[in-house]
Amino acid sequence: MDKRQDLPADNQWDLLVEHGEWLELGFHALWIEGDNEEELARLLRGDLDARVECDLRTLARMDAEPDAMGVWIGPHAPGWTHAFVFGMWSFHPAIRNLGKRRVFEVQYTGEVGEGLEPLYLNYDGEQLGDVTPPFEEGGDMVLPDYRPYTVGLELEGKRMREHVHLFFCMMGRVTGRFADRDWWTAARAFYRIPREAWEE
């Protein structure tokens, strides 16, 4: 079977609700090509001296100012790192600073917010376009090279939370690993990012 057409054992949205603490209300996720978590945190200008190893439950209970910047980052699959970033917008200068590597970006602001942005692909400071699955089989894609990964992930007639599930499925196919309970409950590194680090 073509690995680009695999499906996860568990619904990705359901896992997010079960283990993601507050993230069903909104999140900003990056799948970053590369294994060096500390180097990626440095490029995001995280405070490397204030690294905290924690799981999401602990992170949810940490005191932080509203809109404080930070990154919770750790291993995803061989050759890939995953991060949830906080206090950033889509294509933020910090994300543009990640260099010559593919960075896939999903931002969800909740069903009462602006919703779900396209699944963007960034590379070397440029947003190349999006790899959002088409609404119908064979439908248009901005970056058609990624069409083989979209089979069975068509968006038409589905609710936003189902779109989140399908975006996570898409990234599982691209990176070779779907999110599972171990993925959601693992400890990762949290770095605060000083707001002045990205002031123009």
Render pLDDT for 159-183 as a digit per residue (tens, 0 to 9): 999 999 999 999 999 999 999 999 9
Residue 141: predicted pLDDT:
96
> What is the average pLDDT value for the chain, to the nearest integer?
94
Q: In this model, does residue 114 exceed pLDDT 90?
A: no
Residue 112: predicted pLDDT:
65
Count the Cβ atoms, other than its own, within 10 Å of residue 10.
15
Count the Cβ atoms, other than its own, within 10 Å of residue 98.
22
State what percent of residues in the chain have pLDDT above 90: 87
Task: Render pLDDT for 2-39 as a digit per residue (tens, 0 to 9).
Answer: 767 899 999 999 999 999 888 999 999 999 999 999 99
The sign one gets for the Cα dihedral 135, 1, 35, 125 is: negative
Q: 181 near 188, Cβ under 8 Å?
A: no
DSSP labels, 111-143: TTTT-B---EEEETTEEEEE-PPPSSTT---SS
Residue 26: predicted pLDDT:
93
Rounded Cα gap, residues 133 and 150, in angstroms:
5
Q: In this model, does residue 134 exceed pLDDT 90?
A: yes
Nearest to 131 by CA among 117, 115, 142, 116: 142
Indicate the pLDDT class of residue 66, thresholds 50, 70 and 90: low
Amino acid letter for position 65: E
Indicate the pLDDT class of residue 65, thresholds 50, 70 and 90: confident
